[in-house]
Amino acid sequence: MEVGILAYGGYIPQSRLQRSEIAKAHSWFNPGLNGLAKGERSMANWDEDSITMAVEAARDCLIGYDRDAISAVYLASTSFPFEDRQNAGIVADALSLKSNLQTMDFSSSRRAGSAGLSLALQVAQGGGDPILFTTAEKRETRAASPLELTSGDGAAAFLVGQGKVIAKLVGSHTESVDFVDHFRGHGVDYDYTWEERWVRDEGYLKIVPTAISALLEKTGTDPAAITTFCFPVAAKRVAGMIAAKVGIPDASVADNLQANCGETGTAHSMVMLAHALDDAKPGDKILVASFGQGSDALLFEVTEEINNLPPRMGISGSLKRRHAETNYNKFLAFHNLVNLERGIRAETDKKTGLTTLYRNKNMVQRMIGGECSQCGTAQFPKSNMCVNENCGAVGTQEDYPFADRIARVNSFTADRLTYSPDPPAYYGMIQFEEGGRLMSDFTDIAPDAEIEVGMSMRMMFRVKDYDDKRGFRRYFWKATPVDAPKSASNKGE
């Protein structure tokens, strides 16, 4: 049976920081930043990280698929929230997946995204149930650095396995070369980067073409037949130079998303692959290459099954979910790049009782509530007694998932007295359409947005709060205005 991609998904945070605002703040010190001041970069909210973004990309990927059939969850990132706690396990928990699966983290290289997908595909060749591969990045960048302007936050996810694949794997090849273009040592916050021309001439233009040429020769593929070439580099013309060197048509070079997203680090080769699949047609050949202490090259051929894929946001739809952010100081605060006076209300100890967290993790991380087996009333949280005043049955509660259900606003408040990293704190009572209600925090409320009673909301997995004293963060589900789950392409319509 053919091995390849069964489904895909993507996620880009809705806030897009205007690069002109970054350059305006720092050009007095480094006028060269004005050359990078065009366009915008994606900016994660204060309650987003690589785990929450991976969850959103995975939810998009798994539309229409049986989650119980997944055999493994892989997560790739160089900005994991936890150094000693399995981050992929939190993703699996948030997706309410079964416990008898494999979870694995991939890190330590910008190439971890493509390497993780390549390994997932190799495992899938041995048969078994599908593997969910996710990759996400929220890199910390030093203020006034070029990376601050060219980077972005985002995630992609792929369900890989055998069967009715939307893109079959034609072949792959890896070159492992300890070429250090940048690095980040243990306990260091920011990447240290080397001279751009050296990286281009000795790295990109020598290592990547070697990997691509080996792949094309191995698979007997004419480079002129490549429909889309995805290479994650922010520098202009580098992808085109690589394409020309191996014979790939210049028209096949994919948009690197610098204008409206930025380079999402480890995730970017996969973000570009997901973006290419948004508009792919049967017969298209998509070549994706990466760079980071070597290079991975993977070749896919799109099949007729892509026309049967259920509609999803994808990268194209996620890019349309956009708010233009012009407050650079907010970016600095969200990334702890400024020592902000947060006030007395922010001084509460956020210590998490790990025993309590574990005992309630179905409610907290999976958002599992209850449904009465006698009267059918849904409620959150789950309790021993039915909340229906006409029922009141005891011991009849069965697990009932709320995370993917639509709710409507019953009441709401914009509170500037309660501490919030992004004031005002929005919260309110939401009523789920199938039953059940919850007093919920709201997130991703743009400054010009209008919250109204009755408006539709969906749940998103986010950071609830940070325990900076102990380096722990708690997650929970928050409500956000509904966006249409349809990509910019016309597939599935």
The predicted model scores a pTM of 0.95
The CA distance from 239 to 245, in Å, is 10
Average pLDDT, the chain: 94
Q: What confidence score (pLDDT) does residue 200 get?
A: 94
Is the confidence at residue 95, as pLDDT, over 80?
A: yes
pLDDT at 454 over 70: yes
- Is it the case that residue 491 has pLDDT exceeding 60? no
To 5 degrees, how large is the angle CA 52–CA 146–CA 263? 40
CB 164 within 8 A of CB 213: no
Range from 76-85, 321-330, 338-347, 448-457 carrying the lowest mean pLDDT: 338-347
pLDDT tens for 153-185 read: 999 999 999 999 999 999 999 999 999 999 999
The two tokens of residue 158 are 């792929």
pLDDT number for residue 18: 98
Exposure class string for 271-308: b at 16+ Cβ within 10 A, else e: bbbbbbbbebeeebbbbbbbbbbbbbbbbbbbbebbee
Degrees to nearest 5, angle at CA 336 with 330 and 338: 75
Residues of each domain in the chain carrying CATH 3.40.47.10: 3-334
Q: What does the block give as tokens for 196?
A: 């751009």
Please give the share of the chain, as a percent, with pLDDT higher than 90. Answer: 92
Q: Looking at residue 333, what is its pLDDT?
A: 93
Residue 11, beta-bridge partner list: 155
Q: How confident is the model at residue 346 (pLDDT cuts 50, 70, 90)?
A: confident
* Tens digits of residue pLDDT in 351-403: 999 999 999 999 999 999 999 999 999 999 999 999 999 999 999 999 999 99
Contact in structure between 265 and 141 (CB atoms under 8 Å): no
Q: Where are the alpha helices (DSSP H) in 340-480?
A: 354-359, 361-364
Q: Kindly tell me if the per-residue pLDDT of 493 is higher than 60.
A: no
CATH of 3-334, one of 2.60.40.180, 3.40.50.300, 3.40.50.970, 3.40.47.10: 3.40.47.10
> What residues contact residue 278 under an 8 Å CB cut-off, 6+ apart?
10, 314, 315, 316, 317, 487, 488, 489, 491
321 falls in which pLDDT band (50, 70, 90)?
very high
Given phi > 0 = left and psi -120 to 50 = alpha, else beta, which region is 212?
Answer: alpha
Residue span(s) of the chain under CATH 2.40.50 come to 345-367+402-481
Treating both helix axes as pointing N-terminal to C-terminal, what angle do 268-278 and 112-124 enclose, rounded to 10 degrees? 60
Per residue in 239-283, pLDDT (tens digit) is 999 999 999 999 999 999 999 999 999 999 999 999 999 999 999
Cα distance between residue 183 and residue 192, in whole Å: 5
Task: For domain 345-367+402-481, give the CATH number.
Answer: 2.40.50
